Amino acid sequence: MRVILAQPRGFCAGVVRAIEIVERSLEKFGAPVYVRHEIVHNRHVVETLERKGAIFVDELHEIPDGAVTIFSAHGVAQTVIDEAKSRGLPVLDATCPLVTKVHLQGKRYVARGRALILIGHEGHPEVEGTIGQVGGPVHLVSSTQDVDRLDLPADAPIAYVTQTTLSVDDTREIIAALQRRFPNIEGPDVADICYATQHRQSAVRDLCRVVDLLLVVGSRNSSNSNRLREIGIEQGLPSHLIADGSELDPAWLAGVGTVGLTAGASAPEELVLDVIEALRHHGALEVEPMDGVREDVEFRLPAELRERTKEPVR
């Protein structure tokens, strides 16, 4: 049995930055530091940071006065920022810069008097943060059917933004439906779609052409990981989302000559290696990477964390 690894896979630059913000905060200020919501959607990452001294909470009222506070990579509503300021909490913002870019785009559209439509999944933390950032009404759509149900006149000035964990392919039909219904519409350039989401989905499509089974390493609550599995299913392949090697079901491997393996943007490479080790126990003899995009994007850390010197919290 062969195992072919998608390229790229796993951590994106926004996830790397978010995790590093927590780790450097622990180094500089000491434990504990408090993180509002999971820093990224991966239980392994969260538990690793918990062992180092991070405490994850659902809301700010769970954070003691004066404690170092970190916002997750998904972004937060303005009301959360205002509450932290009113309490004087020392905040480090781990919001992915590409998510922040969506917030700024949305604010500009609303300031110009356009009705804002957000393409995304209801209840996702990034969507909730974006809705709470733009300073005006937001119409959330997840499908072309949602577009048909929008209670807006056809001649209304419209603009749209998208959840970053959706790719060009994910949003193409919805954007086309919006353009058909609303002639006076604006939206971001295709180049503004999250590079990591697009790269990982394109790599999986390439992978699906040469394998018999697709395994996606990622958490159940990871939007982009679930989408990678869905792409495999759309390509007609048996496809499974697994957290690590312990979730590999040997029955999936019956009659399989080549396994495709990828990972969502919040899944660390060590979990991919764990799945490879599990596959070796079931007859995997070769492991090879596919050719693909080599990502070299890096996002700057907050200024107060660029120096590692430990200091007391002020």
pLDDT tens over the chain, length 314 residues: 999 999 999 999 999 999 999 999 999 999 999 999 999 999 999 999 999 999 999 999 999 999 999 999 999 999 999 999 999 999 999 999 999 999 999 999 999 999 999 999 999 999 999 999 998 999 999 999 999 999 999 999 999 999 998 888 889 999 999 999 999 999 998 767 788 999 999 999 999 999 999 999 999 999 899 999 999 999 999 999 999 999 999 999 999 999 999 999 999 999 999 999 999 999 878 999 999 999 999 999 999 998 765 555 44
The total of structural domains in the chain comes to 3
Give the domain CATH number at 40. 3.40.50.11270
Residue 207 is part of which domain span?
2-10+195-289
In a domain, 174, yes or no: yes
Same-domain check for residues 161 and 226: no
Same-domain check for residues 102 and 83: no
Same-domain check for residues 77 and 144: no
Same-domain check for residues 207 and 186: no
**Residue 179, CA atoms < 13 Å, CB-side half-sphere:** 8
In a domain, 313, yes or no: no
In a domain, 314, yes or no: no
Q: What is the pLDDT of residue 224?
A: 92
Q: What is the pLDDT of residue 314?
A: 42
In a domain, 51, yes or no: yes
CA–CA separation, 266 and 261 (whole Å):
15
Does the global pTM surpass 0.95? Answer: no
Give the domain CATH number at 212. 3.40.1010.20
Please say if 50 is a catalytic residue. Answer: no
Other Cβ atoms within 10 Å of 110 Cβ, number = 17
Same-domain check for residues 127 and 212: no
Same-domain check for residues 171 and 199: no
- One DSSP character per residue, 198-245 reads HHHHHHHHHHHTS-SEEEEES-TT-HHHHHHHHHHHHTT--EEEESSG
Same-domain check for residues 92 and 104: no
Tokens of 53: 């001294």
In a domain, 18, yes or no: yes
Helix (H, G, I), strand (E, B) or coil at 191: helix
Same-domain check for residues 258 and 217: yes
- Nearest CA among 218, 220, 153 for reference residue 184: 153
190 contacts 168 by C-beta, under 8 angstroms: yes
CA–CA separation, 189 and 266 (whole Å):
25
Same-domain check for residues 91 and 109: no
Q: Which of 140, 164, 192 is the last residue of a domain?
A: 192
Q: What is the pLDDT of residue 310?
A: 55
CA–CA separation, 185 and 115 (whole Å):
9
In a domain, 311, yes or no: no
Catalytic residue among 20, 126, 173, 234: 126
Same-domain check for residues 73 and 152: no
Q: What is the pLDDT of residue 189?
A: 81
Same-domain check for residues 146 and 135: yes
In a domain, 71, yes or no: yes
Same-domain check for residues 277 and 200: yes
In a domain, 312, yes or no: no
